[in-house]
Amino acid sequence: MRPIRSLLCLLTLVSLLPAQPTGAAMTDDNPFFSPFATPFGTPPFDRIRTEHFLPAMMKGMEEQRREVNAVANDTLPATFANTVEALDRTGDLLGRVTAVFFALQGANTNDSIQAIAAEVTPLLTQLQDDIYLNERLFRRVKTVYDARSASGLDAERMKLVEDYYASFVRGGATLAPEAKERFRAVNEELARLQLKFDENVLKETNAFRLVIERRKDLDGLPKSVVDASAEAATAAGLKGKWLFTVKKPSMLPFLTYAKNRDLRRQLLTAYLKRGDNGNEHDNNALAARIAALRVERSALLGFPTYAAFSLDRTMAKTPKNVYDLLDRLWEPALRNAKRERDAMQAMVKKEGGSFTIEPWDWWYYAERVRKERYDLDENELRPYFLMENVRKGVFDLATRLYGVRFEERKDITTYAEDVTVFEVKEEDGTHVGLLYTDYYPRAGKQAGAWCGAFRSQEKRDGRNIAPLVTNVGNFSKPTAGQPSLLSMDEVETLFHEFGHALNALFSDATYKGLSVPGDIIELPSQIMENWAFHPEVMKTYALHYKTGKPIPAALVGKIAKSATFNQGFATTEYLAACYLDMDWHTLKSTVPVESASFERAALERIGLIPAVPPRYRSPFFLHIFSSPYYAAGYYYYIWAEVLDADAFEAFKENGLFDRATAAKFRRHILARLQADDAMTQYERFRGRKPDIAPLLKRRGLE
């Protein structure tokens, strides 16, 4: 559940750059040194080599230095065109190379890429600081900002001016000289620590292996899971054994079906202990130091906490408003989770067990209770969720709602063999953009799922620059004897990330520097989940992978009846992570806390029951510690869920596939969300402010 990944606008340059490298990577064979001469300007992955990245980024920073200096040193009076718009147009080369580089760092990294990231991250942080702390440039931006009301700018240009001005202020432009120096130092240290946190989690994730040598330890596991683990073992040089990892496509089926309770304990404990093993990859001290530095950074800017700083530009506005929403949901969610735990405990007793339900029991007994209560076994569903069919199903849904179609392009090179590229076209054949789908785990891929872009949409000289969008996941891989068959959660995730992709593909903005509040960015993705298991949509994709027959109506009915099952657990584990995030970022001291005791106190305060761990523990909470995007922002998903549940009511009222409603949603939300105030855009779509009631009903929390 990650948002569109993008760098902050790297609009500045470094005062003292390292000497330029020499050799082949700096000659004309470096594909980044000119616009890509490929179909649609796609990255030429057949030509890109790792050694191309650093020279291209260095040259990109050098070029941007000249461009930014030209804006800052312009002798003409500052105007929108020669200052704000000109600033927005800088950095083409740097943007081209960093978009590809950081996409690979997340989806297909290696030691060389990680080493480059460690070298270049401080330089990119300096780039950002240099522009925001450039006094001459800030004076010009402020001049345009102060005159904006009388300048005759349209709404989009007005918002661009306001977004840039806010970025300068929040980037330290108004600080005193000595404060600016400390601000730079804090930013540089944060950049290094956040990168290190990310690297540690990846290494910890890849390090653990549960190797099973006795077949009886596989009791309860479906044949497909056993076969996949045998293939994984063979690939790891352990032929004749079975291998499980803490990556979710491997771990969750084991937790759900394995009868061996001790092995379930070992696997989940390893997952929950990532970054918390007292070794060279331990993240506890890093998390505490990152949080403390964020306090200091926020205080320099005049905010009492990092959360106050972070939320100032969101729809929520204040930490109190976030806590109020979490508190409203917490008690009913916790009550539901306790009822679910009690139902599982009753089953343990019924089967003659005497142990108390622990976290490693939850998935196993939840599946048992679901089967007993609804006669629904997820293994019955997987054969109907062939990945290719699910992907086609979400494409068909987009065609039905918005008229677009998707055509596979085999002439476009990719960065891995299991990446597939689709051209997206309007009904009349007009090119919209490209979508790269990358759905399977690999050693060099970070956990989770996200949407990114090799190029974002913008307009130049009256010409639309079409986006190149990526959807990345870690879904169940095909094996020698079986194709990729998805779980319900993976189906929902595929729909979710595709919603982000539509947002990126349908973007109709002129400028790349326009911002969107984080707590509405999940609306386009989460609303897509509402269609995932709708009977009319399932008809198009839920076809048995062997027979091609559609999923039986009885199974569809069971899915509908069990829609709120286990929602106590799902809501509670998520909200617990939200509280943990907010507690970290409402700290006021610049002295690092002791991470483990801080986390323990945060979870005890809300009364989280021992059987439910938070979705993310501090040492592997990548959302909030590997970058600032979700810091004090993990609540974004639930805030946006209020919006998506309410927005979906419009489709219920007018027809789930009503083209007029879809066109209105595309126009105001998917295409132009960044062009005006977020709540204003939502009200233009819905005709009123959002209502929380549909969310409470959906999650069974009324």
Q: Is 242 helix (H, G, I), strand (E, B) or coil?
A: strand
3-class SS at 28?
Answer: coil
Q: 452 pairs with which residues across the strands?
A: 470
Q: Are 32 and 66 in contact (CB under 8 A)?
A: no
Going 493 to 499 to 502 to 507, the CA torsion angle's sign is: negative
User: What is the distance between the alpha carbons of residues 505 and 125, in angstroms, rounded to a whole number?
Assistant: 28
Q: Which residues contact 524 (CB under 8 A, 6 or more apart)?
A: 499, 500, 502, 503, 669, 670, 673
Burial degree of 280 (CB within 10 A; 0-12, 13-18, 19+): exposed
CA distance 532 to 77: 54
Residues facing 422 on adjacent strands:
408, 435
Residue owning tokens 């065109």: 81
Sequence-distant (≥ 6) Cβ neighbours of residue 319 within 8 angstroms: 305, 307, 308, 311, 582, 586, 632
From 67, 204, 497, 599, active-site residue: 497
Strand partners, 243: 211
In the residue annotation, 280 being an active-site residue is answered as no
Q: Strands 468-472, 431-438: parallel, antiparallel or unpaired by DSSP?
A: parallel
* Positive/negative CA dihedral, 502, 553, 249, 419: negative
Task: Tell me the H-state helices in 313-408.
Answer: 319-350, 359-374, 378-381, 387-402
Residue type at 272?
L
- In Å, what is the CA distance from 27 to each residue of 33, 64, 336, 694? 9, 19, 63, 59
Cα dihedral 680, 686, 688, 694 in deg (nearest 10): -120
| Active-site residue list | 497
